[in-house]
A and B are shown apart, each in its own frame.
Chain A
Amino acid sequence: MVKLKSNDDKEFEVEEAAVIQSEMIKNMIEDGCATSVIPLPNIDSKTLIKVIEYLNKHINMGKAAETGEEDDLKEFDEQFVNMGWEELFDVIMAANYLNIHELMELCCQSAADRLKNKSVRAVREMLKITNDLTEEEEQEIINDAPWAFEGPEIDDTVN
């Protein structure tokens, strides 16, 4: 068992087989730096609970194909990323920090799926991005790749 501590001082015990999906922690264990509690100053307990839920479900993922549990995992993953942007970015930050490749892929793919076919206005609105480009700059960008800004599939709704 490996003990992890969130930035709000909550401790969690996780099986080593689960936690080594994090490259960062795996390296710490290999270097003998994981004997006591591992503090995670960038991750709050709420996000850490989500990450641990993911790690526990994905233990021995390589063997999933062997046991016919692929569908089960797929369903779990779909449910897992069913969260708001705020939570998604928390998990992405944690996965990036802990270096959990599969979780990064899952969450970034979910972010990409939500942005697909969305208009510029819709993406800015969804993600609260402030446009700090001048009109000339905007026109320049459109002129560089006009094919990206036209088409019936572009969706201007925010959801």
Chain B
Amino acid sequence: MSMHYGNFSSKGANADREYTEDRISVLPINVLDYVVELLPIEDAARTSILSKKWRYIWAMSPNLVLDNLFCNKLAKESCSFFYNTVDNILLQHIGDIVKFDLDVSGLGLPWYTDIDRWMHYVTRHGVKKLNLNVPKNSTYKVPSYIFNCSTLTDLTLSNCVFKSPTSFLGFQNLITLCLKSMTFVPTAEFCVIKVPLLVDLILDCCQGTRYLNIVSPQLESLVVFRSDCLELNCFRNCKKLKRIIFSGTNKVVDVYPKYLESSTLEKFLFSLPTLAILHLESHFLKLLAADNISKELPFALDCLWHLSLHVDFGKLDQTSYALQLIKISPNLTQLRIWVFNTSDNAEAVSEYLDSPACLEQPLNKLRHVTLHLFKGSKTELALVKKLVAHTPSLVRMSIKPNKVMDSWKERNIAIELMRFSRASPRAELLYLPNVV
């Protein structure tokens, strides 16, 4: 190994040392594998021709990612060219395919028998991480090969129809399951899917979730986006849940579970002894807050360190519920609040936030607070004032306005913010009017 030193100046200063001999080809094979894995498939395939040493590195690479861009490019030629090329790639592959990504969501395919065949192939070649994305509304049914594949640890399926086979016992080794825009249909008989090792579950924009009954005692993270239904019953026994994200908004249309009841949600959330990260969007906070004006919550979230909430500061129930959640979390270190809405005329809310009773004890562990979509209303300022006065360990409070306000208003907000007395001597208060 060459030894050039004596030039210890800052980074990049030695960038001109000339590269004269082939060093990449003598790197350990695991490093070459890794570089090839990180290349898009065309570039990866092209490395086969660099030299004898490189001849089979790509063919033996355990990861095959056929992304949207690549599939579209092939299908532009013709559908049969696409089918043939993927067939060829699989035929030439040497050894196990540990990770297989196939994204045909942008293709108008006349049939899906080839996809079934490829799924059959990869599930017999040791696939652990499988990601399949078919076109929206395709009615493509998840083939039985996937259900019966015991090597799977990570499974992501998008836009398919999910109907488990009658004899299905569950995914024995699955750790991560992500289902996007899936349609679940009822099976002939009531069927429980056992996923004994599942840690992460993401349900995004799925339909018919009530037909999905999962038993997953090891589950640590439950993320539900835009679901028309949320059956919390099947998660009742997930005592290891650490992370909950419930969200319903997107740019086009908001979807929330229709029949979820306030008491069910509350009972569920407060029955999780290890909950550490909680993210609730407006609908869920609204639901929880509905019957709870200024009521003290008889629970504690002892492990919670990250709380993120969408709050309507025009509403007293939501504002007070948000504060209740903060108060019952003695180990909270990070708080993120999205100002979902606010009102300058919400006298009751301002009065509540100004009253000493709304927050008496110091929040000793809270170190980082971020307010997103800040609109500069009286209620928001009252909240900031309250928080900085009760957070002796605060490191940083960041305030990010949702749009550019006029400079006169911004100046007034800044002056107001500066006046607040802070319990933490080292607290940094960042008002970021230009960062939207």
Contacts and interface: CB of A to CB of B under 8 A. Distances in A.
B43 A46 contact: no
Given A89-B23, A108-B31, A144-B88, A46 B49 contact: no
Interface in B7-54: 7-8, 11-12, 14-25, 27-28, 30-31, 34-35, 38-43, 45-52, 54
B398 interface: yes
B92 interface: yes
Given A66-B333, A130-B51, A145-B48, A42 B1 contact: yes
Interface string A6-44: 011010000000000000000000000000000000111
Given A42-B1, A66-B333, A116 B17 contact: no
B345 interface: no
Contacts of A92: 27, 31
A79 interface: yes
Interface residues of B, number: 58
A104 B34 contact: yes
B45 A148 contact: yes
Interface residues of A, number: 56
Contact of B334 (A66, A124, A149): A66
Contacts of A53: 11
B74 A147 contact: yes
B34 A67 contact: no
B125 to A, nearest CB: 19
Nearest to A8: B3
A133 B35 contact: no
A7 B3 CA distance: 9
B297 to A, nearest CB: 25
A86 B5 contact: no
B38 A129 contact: no
B43 A86 contact: no
B396 to A, nearest CB: 7
Nearest to B3: A44
B22 A67 contact: no
B361 interface: no
Contacts of A84: 14-19
B2 interface: yes
B2 A44 contact: yes
Contacts of A62: none
A67 B50 contact: no
A81 to B, nearest CB: 9
B52 A93 contact: no
B19 A115 contact: no
Given A108-B38, A112-B39, A145-B45, A89 B55 contact: no
B26 to A, nearest CB: 9
Contact of B88 (A68, A117, A145): A145
Contacts of B292: none
Contacts of A120: 46, 49-50
Nearest to A95: B31
Interface string B254-272: 0000000000000000000
B335 to A, nearest CB: 11
Nearest to A41: B1
A154 B43 CA distance: 9
B242 interface: no
Contacts of B43: 112, 115-118, 148
A104 to B, nearest CB: 7
A145 B306 CA distance: 49
A45 B8 CA distance: 10
Contacts of B80: none
A96 B46 contact: no
A48 B17 CA distance: 17
Contacts of B163: none
Interface in A135-154: 137-138, 141-142, 144-145, 147-149, 151
A148 B51 contact: no
Contacts of B334: 66
Given A44-B5, A53-B11, A83-B12, A132 B23 contact: no
Given A87-B17, A89-B23, A46 B39 contact: no
A60 interface: no
Contacts of A43: 1
Interface centre among A42, A92, A115 (most CB of B within 10 A): A115
A43 B1 CA distance: 8
B433 to A, nearest CB: 17
A68 B22 contact: no
Given A82-B12, A129-B50, A144-B88, A46 B35 contact: no
B39 A147 contact: no
Interface string A103-120: 010001101100111101
Interface string B341-367: 000000000000000000000000001
A21 B23 CA distance: 26
Contacts of B35: 108, 111-112, 115
Given A89-B27, A112-B39, 9 more contacts: A44-B2, A44-B4, A66-B367, A86-B2, A104-B31, A133-B52, A145-B89, A148-B41, A149-B46
16 contacts: A7-B1, A44-B1, A44-B4, A45-B3, A46-B14, A68-B368, A82-B15, A85-B23, A118-B43, A128-B22, A129-B25, A141-B55, A144-B92, A145-B45, A145-B48, A149-B46
Listed from nearest, the 4 A-B pairs whose CB atoms lie closest are: A148-B45, A112-B38, A85-B19, A128-B22
